[in-house]
Amino acid sequence: MKDINESRERLRGIFNITVTPFDARGNIDFVALRENIERVIGLGYDGILIGGTYGEFPVMTLAERRELFTEVMACVGDRVPVMLCSAGSDPRDVRELTTLAGDLGGLPMVTPPFVSEITDAQIVAFFRAIAPLSKTGILIYNAPGIGITLSPAQLEQLAEIPGVVGIKQGDLNPTAIDQIANRLRGRLRLFCASDLAFLGPMMCGFDGISTTNSGALPELILATFRAMEQGDALTASALHQLWYDYRALARQHGQPQLVKAAMALRGFKGGAVREPLQPVSTEALAALNDVMRQLASDRRSGVTLVG
């Protein structure tokens, strides 16, 4: 993407949150990463998100994140829009990565700095300083998992900052979703940050979703989203219900651990997680295997397993 206007135009639909595959030595496996990217682009995903929280950016060095951005954009080019997570607790790193992401043609995704006792005014000042650094604008990620939840009123204030093109909303409280959809729809692109419960935000008028579990269930989650996008809520609901047992395991054992384990069962190269995350337990893997086999037995899922 060349500028903010193109970012606004193309920022919609279903984006795969691409896990970062680490090899047995802990290095990023770029061959596997490219394979996973090509899979979802080939299936028809509207975009990808790289190096986010489920991409394990907090356990990467700044140099690794620079390399990740560069390698991914060399692979993708301009085929689909790419969100590049430039979040961090050190604004110096955020500034560098945000500038790089925009220069490469990606859209930087930025969270509030996750430091203790930061004030609302300081959060606004932070985004005012960061937004102009990217020629493609920035996407604000409202990520309660890092300890800061931006209220709808705060998001309205941040929406006035030039260069802010969208919000990825991780607070899925129905009241917050309703307020954001009705106050900000049409002004910014609105993305639901979770595929575990995206039907409600889409019904409220959000522009798209980002999905981690599509690393393991790309066909099923894409079909669910397309049905909702086409106004077929009954089909979307039925397909979403189809993978409830998988979602229960994901909530219990964590993402991206479960996604990578499920990818392996399909012959996909999710790789390992980095500490402090740990691979799922033997018991969890057995339960996952049962769930994946059940999904594979239903032709609607599109799931096939190796072995």
Between CA 54 and CA 176 the distance in angstroms is 23
| Closest by Cα among 262, 253, 259, 255 to 280 | 253
Active site residue 168: yes
CA distances from 280 to 17, 250, 267 (A): 20, 10, 17
Q: Which of 45, 54, 141, 246 is catalytic?
A: 141
Residues 45, 54, 168, 269: which is the catalytic one?
168
DSSP 46: S
Cβ atoms of 42 and 78 within 8 Å: the answer is no
Of 147, 150, 186, residue with least CA distance to 168: 150
CA distance 81 to 247: 27
> Which residues face 139 on adjacent strands?
109, 166
DSSP per-residue codes, 176-232? HHHHHHHHHBTTBEEEES-SSS-HHHHHHT--EEEESGGGT-HHHHHHHHHHHHTT-
Query: Which residues have C-beta within 8 Å of that of residue 45, sequence separation ≥ 6?
Result: 13, 14, 15, 16, 80, 214, 218, 222
Give the residue among 131, 125, 129 at the shortest CA–CA distance from 109. Answer: 131
Residues facing 33 on adjacent strands: none
Tell me if residue 135 is catalytic: no
Tell me the three state secondary structure of residue 83: strand
Helix (H, G, I), strand (E, B) or coil at 272: strand
Residues 246 and 197: their CA atoms lie apart, in Å, by: 13
So which residues are the catalytic ones?
Answer: 141, 168
